[in-house]
Every structure is written in structure tokens, then in C-alpha cells.
Amino acid sequence: MSAAIELDGVGARHGVVAVLHEVTVSIPRHRVTAVTGANGSGKSTLLGVLAGTHPPSSGTLRRSHSGRPAFVVQRSEVADALPITVRQTVAMGRWAHRGAWRRLTREDRSIVDRCMDRLGVADLAARRLGALSGGQRQRVLLAQGLAQQADLLLLDEPATGLDAESRARIAAVLAEERDRGTTVVHATHDPEDAAGADHRIVLTDGRIATGGRARTDSR
């Protein structure tokens, strides 16, 4: 199985505090990888390193993917006061292709519509993002990530605190993305979410505890 990303001795800090320590691991291409561990174990920081938003303090990172990854943050990191609608939020995913100030094309609008449909938020298109429930908002943010059409999709605890229906929809979409050739990496502290992944990385206090397949099938 070829690797999408390889980390060798990667460390990362928040200020003077070391968060990741000598992380050496491979992330397989075209698979769903779950990054698990307790709160404070370094999951979000590792995703930031993979996304390129958090520079490593040591070690090396090699990618086989081209282009910028799509990074879907936790819904709690998005301000309620932002005066934007659901459609505008998802359309921001097309900025990676069009730029922030260019008008969307017909194809861009079609992609936005499809992504909203896939996450079940098309009927919320005119609603303000800050007026949505937590589950609705997380699905909107995932739709924005899908709209980027990146070959690497990174998600920070996308299903935490959501109801069973939202969790099932998100899991199905991640499996669809994998089958379409996308490499998916998501952080979770839920054993059920992790068990549904093809590959699992466990962090303990910023170090790799285990890394390997979470299932025995050969997909």
C-alpha cells in the first residue's frame, strides 16, 4: 500500500510547550485513517501539521499529494457572529480554485449544490450559519471541505457530539470520498468512529502509541 504522507521524527510545539514528540508514521493513500487519543494527546496539532497550518519544530514530512489539502475544523472554531449563509459558507470551498474575489462559474455553483445535497443541508442554503444546530453546522463545514475537491481531506473530530443520523451521514460521505480516490484523515476520540476506519493511529501524550490497520479487509 503506497503512502500519501510520511512523517519521520516530527515534533511540534505551541510556543515553548512541546506537543508532538518524534512522530514517525505513514498514512496510506486512498484510505480513511482515524487519529485517536485522549483530549490533549496532540490530535489537532497533528492534523495542523498535515494541513500545513502548523509548522513542525523538527523532523521531516513528505507528501505524495499535489495541491492544498482540505482542512475541516471543529464547528466550535467557527464564530457564530459571522453574517454568512450556508450557501456562502460552502461556496468558500471553491476559493481554492477561483480565488476569493472572482465570480463562481456555473460548474462551481453545481459543485456547491452537489456538496450540500450530499450532506443533507441543501434546504438550509439561505439560513445563517450561526443560526444552525451543532450537527447542521458541522455538516455544512464538511460540505465546504468537499467543495474544494482536494485529494487529501483532513477533519478535526467531525462527528463529536452529533446525533446518530448526522454521524452516520458523515461516515457514509467519508467512505464515498475514499472510494472516489481521496485520502481521508480524521481525528476522533470515539472508538466506534475509529473502528470504522481502514487505518488507525493512536496518540498518547504526543507520541505514537500504535499505528496500523483497524480492519482486516484489503480495500
Residue 214 lies inside a defined structural domain of this protein: yes
Domain stops at, among 127, 149, 171: 149
Residue 175 lies inside a defined structural domain of this protein: no
pLDDT tens figures, 56-105: 999 999 988 767 899 998 765 555 667 889 999 999 999 877 766 678 89
In Å, what is the CA distance from 172 to each residue of 11, 34, 192? 33, 15, 14
pLDDT tens figures, 50-61: 999 999 999 999
Residues 58 and 156 placed together within one structural domain of the fold: yes
- Rounded Cα–Cα distance for residues 103 and 79 (Å): 25
Among the listed residues 206, 214, 171, 205, the one whose alpha carbon sits nearest the alpha carbon of residue 33 = 214
Note down the domain range covering 191: 1-69+152-160+180-219
Burial code (b: 16+ CB inside 10 Å, e: under 16) for 127-136 equals ebbeebeebb
Lowest mean pLDDT among 33-42, 60-69, 73-82, 186-195: 73-82
Residues 80 and 138 placed together within one structural domain of the fold: yes
Q: How confident is the model at residue 219 (pLDDT cuts 50, 70, 90)?
A: very low
Residues 140 and 92 placed together within one structural domain of the fold: yes
Among the listed residues 75, 176, 163, the one whose alpha carbon sits nearest the alpha carbon of residue 118 = 176
Residues 190 and 85 placed together within one structural domain of the fold: no
Q: Which residues pair with 36 in a beta bridge?
A: 188, 202
Residues 78 and 139 placed together within one structural domain of the fold: yes
Q: What is the mean pLDDT of residues 97-126?
A: 90
